[in-house]
Chains A and B, each alone.
Chain A
Amino acid sequence: MTYIPNTDADRQAMMEAIGIGSVEELLTVIPTGVRLDGALDLPPALSELELHDTMGEMAARNGSADRMASFVGGGMYDHFVPSAIGHLAGRSEFLTSYTPYQPEVSQGTLQGIYEFQTMICELTGLDVANASMYDGASATAEAAMLARSATRRDRVILAGSVHPHYIETVRTYAHGPGISVETLPCPNGTLDPDLLESALDDDTACVIVQHPNFFGCLESMRDLERVVHGAGALLVMAVDPISLGVIESPGAYGADIAVGEGQSMGNQVSYGGPALGFFAARDRFVRRMPGRIAGQTVDQENRRGFVLTLQAREQHIRRDKATSNICTSQQLNALMATIYLSLIGKEGLKQVAELCLHKSHYAAERIADLPGFELAFDRPFFKEFVVRTPAAPGEIVTRLADDGLLTGIDLRRFPSLEIENGLLIAVTERRTRAQIDRLVEALGKFS
């Protein structure tokens, strides 16, 4: 079925009104040599009912977290999504509108952006935030680009404990402009400040660390901050927004830029997206920030209103001199995050973070008690940890899927980490003690 309201009679009337006999007359500008001969080779159209059936079957072929107990994290997490979010963000007014080019009829979206920016600044303890980024990985890459332009230095250092996707994305972005990227190994699970100090030089634009890092561990942020700023480089922190309910903010640690994946704030994992990235920075970088930014102002009658602002940074004004090429970003996902943070509130965020701490530590301790299993790193962690397993983690994950468990991530999927028999396990507030016990029992079969 198509979504075209006009009938043959409507089309006839329109063609008569403009003096043509067929639509073909409007296509004469397309040379015959490039015209498609025949129809596209695509499956035939489905009715809405058939579409439901076909795609329903497809979805049912997935082992998703509605049917399995998920301990999979690694940058996206099975946190609880309150019902109100979908109902509010699903309203046509938010869902189907576009970038607020006409602010007079887009105040809903614009005020939502302003509230989002404020919440991100509250979470990160930094001065300014933008309206959203594509995701955590690309936000990290954009932070590296900003650091380079702000410092006029050409080298970026990443902790090897940063999410491998973020590292790969930074490398991809860095290639064309000729930014050199160095990753420092973290064999003990976190970045050694002394190693970092020896790697820094006066051409280092920024150091990128994740906290808690890819392995779930907390970095030695106070020492790292001192070393980074001692070398005149910028400190970029990638953070988990949920962790900020209990863990110190990037601003308080002294970070210059904070980025991260915002999926945990009211967005579904959705096989990788769409979710959102966030980007916050010290005020002196505001004119170099990528992406849309909303600001508060007034209309002719002095009523409060919001507009997109500081647009002289952006591609539609500055073209090849823009600070970034971002146009469409993740507005609806940012709205979902805003609604999430409103619902969960100051106390709720702390409570979710504490539930993650309790449950992940309960799981970690029980798993570490199993013969043959041990925690890979002796470091404080938040909601995720690496376990060394007595059997190949890939095999464990595959076998436990039959028991309705999504056990975690086999770290051999990331060869650059050089971790043998490492299984990354995430435990959110959503996991029950019964599910954790079931996981422990199932893992026990490999002891």
Chain B
Amino acid sequence: MSEPLIFELSSPGRRGVSLPTPDVPVRPVSSYLPDADLRGTPPGLPEVSEVDVVRHYTRLSTLNYHPDRAMYPLGSCTIKHNPKVNEDMAALPGFARLHPMQQDETCQGGLQLMYELSRDLAEIAGLEGVTLQPAAGAHGELTGLMVMRAYHEARGHARRKVIIPDSAHGTNPASVTLVGYETVQIPTNAHGLVDTGRLAELIDEETAAFMLTNPNTLGLFESEIRTIADIVHDAGALLYMDGANLNAVLGITRPGDMGFDVVHFNLHKTFSTPHGGGGPGAGPVGVRSDLVRFLPTPVPVKDGDAYRFDYDRPDSIGRVRGFGGSFGMMVRAYAYIRANGPDGLRQVSENAILNANYIMRRLEKHYPRTVLVHGTQKETPIPAEVPCQHEFVASGTRFRAHGVRMLDIAKRLLDYGFYAPTIYFPLIVPEAAMVEPTETESKESIDRFIDAMTAIAEEVENDPELVRNAPHTTPVGRLDEARAAHPKTLNLRYEKSLAE
């Protein structure tokens, strides 16, 4: 059943692509390059035909679950339908074969797209300026933190720390460290929200920023967001929004209107660009007006009827990557925004929210929402009348009595033909399962998911062994993760070199 490695298909002399014979004068390679720089041993690449390659990667592909097949309720990741037209737009040769180092005069269509996408994202965020440069959400966080650091430095004091909730994405504290700040964690209260009193105590003149996801990672809207913004701004700090959950607020409320100073967008979540098995993504960052001057260079601008990259930005943090950004993802996001229009985007969020609440309410008997009170193991239920937004986090502690963990339930869900929710995150919910259906699931699709989750809950009661040993129908069973945690398992070459 298992597919050989491409290297194991190799047969000396096979070729997968034909190349032209030289049409210019040919000299020995050693006449161009010094002998000391000529490669001694050729790289051990496979020798395979196009047929071998096509069949190998086609067979490999069939081992993947994917959202073009059925629902992929991976909370926090917004795995929505990726419109096919977007792929065609990004593949237009005028975009795909446009080189980033061409002079601006020959890139007017590309620059126009970037300029208009920046403007549209700024409108969606209710903020002044946007950089499209960051390559992913975490890269956007890093960029946003660098901008905030530059802001404080320009005011004469870089400050030292950044406050984040204990429910935050792991990328938040990791990004904080990368810009040389320290993370200070603030506990979530029994309602699953920021404890504003505690925030007021923690914040001081050394606090550079408060990073918050809204709706937060429990899928709850931070209703006291204006109070939070006031506390942060009164301390001279900045309020950062992790935009992972922007799919809940399109056209309903805007980060800038809530009081956020900086936000990152995940084009691969909210704006439907495909996730590619782990990227590419894109993580543009929006900022309020007095932070625009710190954004990375270059910035696409419009002079009269012409577009150009502006490099003359003396206060900029600099570049965070090569060239202008992941343009192909910008093309897809632009197509998505233009296809939806303002009303369509609002419908996106409204439908995402309705779908999530429908699942949450229909599953709450088996999968209740709870949150751990800080410093204790006490689980506090989140009342049913508190709506979730585009996702919710259920707890599976009740299954412990049967020796079943949320991991087991996630694996069993694979047998039912669904991908699993995000599990064990956020850390403040015991046995967490974070479910995000998105707006592109139909009622029938959602009902099938609810039926599967319900059936599994019943299996836990009647046949827990079945759930504990899941999955039963996947290409491979549960894998021994510990065994992989050694350098020798990481590639064939190293394994062979050790054997020799």
Contacts and interface: CB of A to CB of B under 8 A. Distances in A.
B253 A98 contact: no
B138 interface: yes
Interface stretch (A197-205, A228-236, A356-364, A369-377): A356-364
A295 B479 CA distance: 11
B79 A102 contact: no
Interface string A406-441: 100110000000000000000001001100100000
27 contacts: A14-B355, A62-B106, A63-B106, A80-B19, A88-B61, A93-B63, A98-B277, A102-B414, A108-B64, A114-B5, A115-B7, A128-B487, A132-B279, A166-B322, A168-B319, A269-B97, A271-B323, A272-B325, A272-B326, A316-B169, A319-B170, A325-B142, A325-B178, A330-B280, A332-B274, A333-B279, A380-B32
B318 interface: yes
Interface string B20-50: 1011111101001110111111111111101
A178 B325 CA distance: 25
Contacts of A380: 32-34, 37
Contacts, number: 728
Contact of A222 (B36, B103, B112): B36
A398 B475 contact: no
A17 B335 CA distance: 35
A97 B170 contact: no
Interface in B64-121: 64-69, 72, 74, 77, 79-83, 85, 87-103, 105-110, 112-113, 120
Contacts of A218: 33-34, 37
Given A3-B272, A62-B94, A121-B494, A301 B109 contact: no
Contacts of A169: 318-322
B58 interface: yes
Q: Which 9 A-B pairs have the closest CB atoms?
A: A45-B341, A59-B94, A332-B276, A272-B323, A295-B484, A274-B280, A63-B106, A343-B16, A61-B109
Contacts of B40: 248, 252
A341 B123 contact: no
A435 to B, nearest CB: 10
B138 A95 contact: no
A175 B317 contact: yes
B329 interface: yes
Contacts of B81: 3
B358 to A, nearest CB: 5
Contacts of A341: 45-46
Contacts of A378: none
B138 A342 contact: no
Interface string A329-372: 11111010011011111111111101101110110000000000
Contacts of A31: 223, 225-226
Contacts of A67: 93
Given A61-B109, A129-B491, A269-B99, A177 B23 contact: no
B65 A406 contact: no
A128 B494 contact: yes
B167 to A, nearest CB: 12
B357 A42 contact: no
B400 interface: no
A406 B102 CA distance: 7
Contact of A18 (B44, B137, B361): B361
**Most chain A Cβ neighbours within 10 Å, of B62, B275, B353:** B275
Nearest to B422: A101
Interface in A293-331: 293-301, 303-307, 309-310, 314-322, 324-331
Contacts of B396: none
B18 to A, nearest CB: 9
Contact of B358 (A18, A58, A97, A137): A18
Contacts of A131: 278
A352 B328 CA distance: 26
B489 A102 contact: no
Interface in A1-41: 1-6, 10-11, 13-15, 17-20, 23, 25-31, 33-36, 39-41
B401 interface: no
A167 to B, nearest CB: 9
B480 to A, nearest CB: 5
A177 B43 contact: no
A2 B95 contact: no
A407 B290 CA distance: 39
A171 B142 CA distance: 14
B267 to A, nearest CB: 10
A127 B100 contact: no
A331 B277 contact: yes
B490 A34 contact: no
B32 A357 contact: yes
Contacts of A134: 135-136, 139, 321
B341 A271 contact: no
B393 interface: no
A172 interface: yes
